[in-house]
Amino acid sequence: MTYQRTLTAEDICKKLKPIFGDKIDKIYFNYVTSDSRETKEEIFSLLHALYQKHFEKLLDSATLLEPPKQHEVDGKYRIGNVLYSKKEIYPFSLRDSDFPRHICISGMSGSGKTTLAFNIIEGLITNNKPFLIFDWKKSFRPLLTKDPSLTCFTIGEKKLANNFKLNINRPPQGVSPKEWISVMCDLIAESFFVSYGVHKVLLETLDESYKEWGVYNGSENYPTWNHIKWRLEEKLNKSRSREQTWIESALRVATVLTFGDFGEVVNYKGKSTINIEDILKKRTIFELNSLGNIEKKFFCEFLLMYIYKSKKAEQNKVNNKFNYAILVDEAHNIFLKDKTKFVSESVTDMVYREMREYGISLICLDQHISKLSDTVKGNSACHIAFQQQLPEDIETISRLMNIHEKKEIFSSLEVGEGIVRLSERYTKPFFIKAPNTDLRKINITEEQIKDRVKQFFNTQELEKNTDIEFNTKLITGGAFDINNLFKNINLPRSLNLHAIKNQEECSPNELPQIISAEYTDSGKIQKENISVAQTDTVYATIKRRLKQGEDLSKIEKQMESIYDSKEVMIAVNKVIEEELNKKEDFEIKSEPEEEFNIKFPEPKSIFPIKDEEEKEII
């Protein structure tokens, strides 16, 4: 008896393998090695019966996507499990080689995109990879609980953490001012959808301002968009030609770039700016929910372009090693299908196409893949599609996955279920299930965000210190070698021994006590007995840095920016007491406790404040 069939014995065995494992391999081996036609037909009948039994209820097109072999989907970054016949059979992981060629994740709201993104980011944290997240809806805050070094900047929200500020007219290192204003005008034309005439006015105005400020002659004092706006207003008052309409449109652009808290973000001239190059070494979230859509769009596009130009200037050769990831939420706002008419390729498309050459991965999340540019759709080596309902989206993704004849799959996916197609390893589409995470239920307070930003700036200041060993141990943790102690120190203050209660005076379970110093308006010091824990790391670090010739006052201020001031005071007093016991010729001023007065230098912030504009950085 024969069957009219489209599936061969080999096809059926492949489909049954995830369910029966090695047993199916043995059956198929008996089938192909049998010399008897009757035996083969008998085995095939058995296979067909098994297929009908396990797939009769699931004979929709979804069951026809065969899973890859386990070794084809293993890797360092586990993001889900391979799904077959509604059964999770083994993990699906991304590899380092997948990231530089970019990842595109699409699906309707609530289908599982953000959950999958959380899994990807957790994998990056586990593997110690730096990343940047453009968060449009405050979705990624809970990740702060997964990484103590992760910082969240609330762009445009002045009362919270609007500390990331820069002057967008300053080019990256290695990029000429002429090249920068040309790229800037292209980007503005793309972000604001302005005409070629407005592009021309902006280019000329920026060029004139750079000349006026001496930028072309080597000056580091760059004009801001406040100055560009003033110059455009002057031009508008003098203009009587058809250029007036272009100038008015250019002035509207300048108004957006100088208005409100966002204007402060992109037109900052203080000393305490954050270098974008430093951001590339860290893990950062930019929350953009306080901005308008056009401000969000411009901010994201500007940073992408800045990073691209910076990498291109410093790196002359292609580097396909995965170094950094950028996650772009609501990507269709950045990588638009429609571009400015007078350019052949948009700035963001160029960035997406060429960023991989510098080891930077772009991870795009969007609800509507049909709205994304062809560059994004065609240059993403990994497509992950969740449930789709819009006909245009279903049509687009089914063709990208090369399963257009089974496109109804995409509208029947359950929450968390997706279809993956890779450009390498295994090129056929297959199902995955993204495991749910409880992270999204975690509430992150405003104080936690502020503390992380403060920690970011403290770390930045420490990294400027030339003591590389100290910085590394302080940030990453670890023990200090204190075998080689210093012989000479310069003490910047007078000391009253009544201020110190040494170890001998303490009971066995009591820690040493000191008198803390608090500054009053008169500059005098108030005294208060406070019991604190001794910090060996602080003590050892102070001794080692004093041996290297650093000033004790400077060391103390820097340590107080990281550790509790009481612990620092204990360590400082212990160091001083040891030196007093060693040096017979050291003069000790003993005074009654009620007349006790330690002469401290004027307290200063580790971030000097030059003007009112810089106060928010602290």
* pLDDT classification of 612: cutoffs 50, 70, 90: very low
Is residue 326 within 8 A of residue 282, CB to CB? The reply is no
Q: Is the pLDDT of residue 414 over 70?
A: yes
Task: Quote the CA–CA distance of 132 and 280 in Å, as a whole number.
Answer: 8
DSSP 4: -
Could you give the percent of the chain with pLDDT greater than 70? 76
Q: Is there a contact between 544 and 482 (Cβ–Cβ < 8 Å)?
A: yes
Tens of pLDDT, residue by residue over 535-554, are 577 788 888 888 877 878 77
Average pLDDT rounded to a whole number, residues 331-341: 79
Residue range 106-117: mean pLDDT, rounded:
92
| Span 266-289, average pLDDT | 85
- The DSSP bridge partners found for residue 382 are 103, 422
Q: What is the pLDDT, as a whole number, of residue 537?
A: 76
Mean pLDDT for the stretch of residues 325-353: 83
**Degrees (nearest 5) of the Cα angle 252, 256, 258?**
115
According to the model, what pLDDT value does residue 464 have? 63
Look-up: residue for tokens 């999340």?
A: 365
Domain spans of the chain, in order of start: 9-58, 60-135+284-294+308-464, 467-595
CATH number 3.40.50.720 given to 60-135+284-294+308-464? no
Closest CA to 144 of 301, 13, 283: 283
Strands, E assignment, 463-569: 500-501, 513-519, 525-531
d(CA 385, CA 401): 9
Strand pairing report for 103-106 and 358-366:
parallel
Between CA 489 and CA 494 the distance in angstroms is 14
What's the pLDDT tens digit per position in 12-65? Answer: 887 777 677 778 888 888 888 888 888 888 888 888 888 887 765 445 444 568
Which helix (H) or strand (E) covers residue 239, if one does? none
Given this model, what pLDDT does residue 480 score? 43
pLDDT above 60 for 584 = no
φ, ψ dihedrals at 508, nearest 5° = -55, -35
Task: State the average pLDDT over residues 407-413.
Answer: 90
pLDDT score of 110 more than 70: yes
Lowest mean pLDDT among 109-113, 431-435, 536-540: 536-540
Measure the CA–CA gap between 445 and 130, rounded to whole angstroms.
24
User: Taking the model in full, what pTM does it have?
Assistant: 0.70
Q: What is the pLDDT of residue 527?
A: 34
Cα dihedral 366, 367, 372, 378 sign: positive
- The 8-class DSSP code of residue 423 comes to S
Tokens representing 106 are: 């699409």
Digit-coded pLDDT (tens) for 465-518: 545 555 454 444 444 444 443 434 444 443 443 444 443 444 433 334 433 333
